[in-house]
A and B are shown apart, each in its own frame.
Chain A
Amino acid sequence: MSVSSSLPVTHIRPGARAVSFTLNEVWQARELLYFLVWRDVKVRYKQTVLGIGWSVLQPFLAMVVFTIFFGRLAKMPSDGVPYPLFSLAALVPWTYFAAAALNGSTSLVGNQHLLAKVYFPRVLVPLAAVLMPAVDLAVSFTMLLVLMAWYHVMPTAAVLLLPLYVALGVSAAFAVTLWTSGLSVRYRDARYVLPFIIQIWLFVTPVAYPASLVPERWRLLYALNPMASVVEGFRSALLGTAGPGSMVVVAVVVVVAAVASGATYFRSVEGSIVDLA
């Protein structure tokens, strides 16, 4: 009867596989995940004048600009919904996604000091960076509800699907982050490339226009962008528009594949994070 039989054993081996995280390990560290998110939320609006108001202001101003230029001047169709509501219902999840992806991509580099001094599953850092903007999402979502009340729009039973779209959006941001956070440790180019990609991504996502504008035969290709389904999903769940339909299936497959490949890539680089940066 050896005492050590009941103790956890850590095997340290050369190569990346040695520090690879397991789902169990991440689950064990869930409290740390909570604290990392909590820290970023606490710190985020310290010493700012507007504080949490920023999370409302950003999508709100975008909505105003979109309404003037796309709604009024370009007469963009909006699936029979008032254009401000139509665009805000998309801007709320989109703003989250853009913030989460950008925040996540710099998370490893930004937490370098922490990573160099203590071990915990490295994946918690990008995960926390993706979850933190969800607080802003909740606040801006409240603004969306206020605007819905203003226009007397009531959500239908489709609102039950909303958690699915939120989960899909968070997963998409996490997938992007798994790739970009690891890449930016090695290649600092990533931090310049991603903002540009996000900008382009906004235009291939039906934020300012409805997905119905895309011709039917291109719809499958269009569905490869999971954010198209997330944005259309938000609209259908809250405003009762047609929704992403079968595009969601493609989106789920894409996101699952992206998270899986991202996790594999992340595992392959997490061992060298400290040495490289």
Chain B
Amino acid sequence: MSDVAIRIRGLGKRYVIGAREEQHDTLRDRIAAAATRPFRRLAPGGFAESTTIWALKDITHEIHRGDVVGVVGGNGAGKSTLLKILSRITTPTEGEADIYGRVGSLLEVGTGFHPDLTGRENLFLNGAILGMRKAEIERKFAEIVRFAEIEEFIDTPVKHYSSGMYVRLGFAVAAHMEPEILIVDEVLAVGDVHFQRKCLGKLDDVARSGRTVLFVSHNMAAIQRLCTSAMLLHHGKLVRAGDVRSIIAAYLGGEARGGFVASARSGDAQILSADLEDVAGRPLDNPACTEPIVCRMRFTLPHRSPGTKIGIGVLSCDGIPVFTTNTSDAGLQCPSGPGEFDARVTIPPNTLLAGDFHLALCLWNSGAILDLHEPALSFSVDTGASLLYAENARRKGYVHVDCRWSVTHVDVAAGMPT
């Protein structure tokens, strides 16, 4: 396991933005630039530093064989640039990287798909583009088509595909690559929930088969579930690398150990910790639909502050608020303080459908937010033995609503319900 799969030393990538010196879109520009260059050197200031940006700077890291590494960071943190360099799509400006083993990279689903070609034709084309052998594609053909669930449309041009079918075919091809090292960019943000879970399951298999995976995602639940370690990038720099929970916590702005723990005591009103547990108070990592989920939050009010409220928001894996709930919904008055308090909220069983969720925490008083963590922790709900999944393995949406139904027979002749 100590074998190195990817060794990165001092990697950096500089982009020149809007600088005349480096961009010659026409020959005339080039000639004009060449003619004036000797004089420009004499001009004060010379090459303007402000016209370049380092998308990536001083990245040094080692990834071992069999590691599943999550790369997290905000927009513009350099995640995609890092993947592009490691995939050899672009060259670094400085530093170096050595990669031991064949690399398969999936930076986009359905790269090279041609709208006029059929699913079958695109499958072969896409497979070849991703570096698969023709014989290999032929061998896995049936399996790929089955995974993509497009059997009946395999000979239809993909321009007639729905976006979901298109994405499924694209991912299915990529999922059947067998490189030693797999590089995956945010590709799971597409497709329906059912297929996203299927993709994650496939990535899980890849990870378990001992291959090295580098995985960029904004879906913290997916990172938490799949990865054995993580890297946090910020403004092109590697801020931190190591165990997944602490990286996610650092990225989301907290320190998670089992749940959520505030990074420091501010001395003001704040949420100190939050954990998920079952009704008996045991820690709950992977609740089933059928279980009640209890969220226990500890908060502190250093001063007397009547009217304080605490609430949670459940967000879907892609950050969409599913519902929020707070103490005043239940007609509850929080203690006015000062002191430390435990709040417990129980999400009833058969409420959340299977899927990945985030939990946001908020403490506020008459419209002023005292403390907000969005999201504070992430969790997955499993189908368990839920009857909700007995008929249909892929329910859409995020929650189950216990609706009342009735079906009556209509006597058509009489025009009256009987």
A: residues with CB less than 8 A from B are 2-4, 7-16, 18-19, 31-32, 34-35, 38-39, 42-43, 46-47, 113-120, 186-189, 271-272, 274-276
> Distance (Å) between the CB of B417 and the closest chain A CB?
55
In angstroms, Cα B133 to Cα A35, docked, is: 11
**B372 interface residue, CB < 8 Å from A?**
no
Chain B residues, Cβ within 8 Å of A35: 124-125, 128-129
Give 1 or 0 for each of B22-57: 1 = CB within 8 Å of chain A CB: 011111101000000000000000000000000000
17 contacting pairs across A/B (C-beta < 8 A)? A8-B100, A12-B97, A13-B96, A14-B94, A19-B88, A35-B129, A113-B111, A114-B112, A118-B89, A118-B130, A119-B89, A186-B24, A187-B25, A187-B26, A188-B25, A189-B28, A275-B15
Q: Which residue, of A13, A115, A118, has the highest number of chain B Cβ atoms within 10 A?
A: A118
Contact B91 A15 (CB under 8 A): yes
> Distance (Å) between the CB of A189 and the closest chain B CB?
5
If the complex has contacts A46-B116, A120-B129, are A187 and B100 also in contact, measured as CB distance less than 8 A? no
> Distance (Å) between the CB of B408 and the closest chain A CB?
53
Chain B residues, Cβ within 8 Å of A115: 89
Chain A residues, Cβ within 8 Å of B98: 9-12
Chain A residues, Cβ within 8 Å of B86: 12
Q: Which residue, of A35, A117, A271, has the highest number of chain B Cβ atoms within 10 A?
A: A117
If the complex has contacts A11-B96, A187-B24, A189-B26, are A118 and B134 also in contact, measured as CB distance less than 8 A? no
Chain B residues, Cβ within 8 Å of A13: 91-92, 96
In angstroms, Cα B94 to Cα A18, docked, is: 12
Cβ-defined partner of A14 (8 Å) among B3, B93, B130: B93
User: Count of A-B contacts with CB under 8 A?
Assistant: 123
If the complex has contacts A35-B129, A43-B114, are A274 and B24 also in contact, measured as CB distance less than 8 A? no
- Assign chain B's interface to a size class: 35 or more
B: residues with CB less than 8 A from A are 3-5, 15, 23-28, 30, 65, 84-103, 105, 107-108, 111-112, 114, 116-117, 121, 124-125, 128-131, 133-134, 180
Cβ-defined partner of A189 (8 Å) among B23, B27, B65, B97: B27
Chain B residues, Cβ within 8 Å of A38: 125
> Distance (Å) between the CB of A269 and the closest chain B CB?
11
> Distance (Å) between the CB of B171 and the closest chain A CB?
14
Contact A120 B131 (CB under 8 A): yes
> Distance (Å) between the CB of B160 and the closest chain A CB?
14
In angstroms, Cα B132 to Cα A32, docked, is: 9
Contact B4 A31 (CB under 8 A): no
Known: A10-B88, A34-B128. 13 other contacts (CB 8 A): A12-B88, A12-B96, A14-B91, A18-B88, A18-B91, A43-B117, A117-B111, A119-B87, A119-B89, A119-B105, A120-B131, A186-B24, A271-B91
If the complex has contacts A31-B134, A275-B15, are A12 and B85 also in contact, measured as CB distance less than 8 A? yes
In angstroms, Cα B378 to Cα A191, docked, is: 53
Cβ-defined partner of A2 (8 Å) among B3, B27, B89, B121: B3
> Distance (Å) between the CB of A87 and the closest chain B CB?
35
In angstroms, Cα B102 to Cα A7, docked, is: 7
In angstroms, Cα B90 to Cα A35, docked, is: 23
Which B-chain residue is minimally distant from A276 (CB atoms)? B23
> Distance (Å) between the CB of A206 and the closest chain B CB?
31
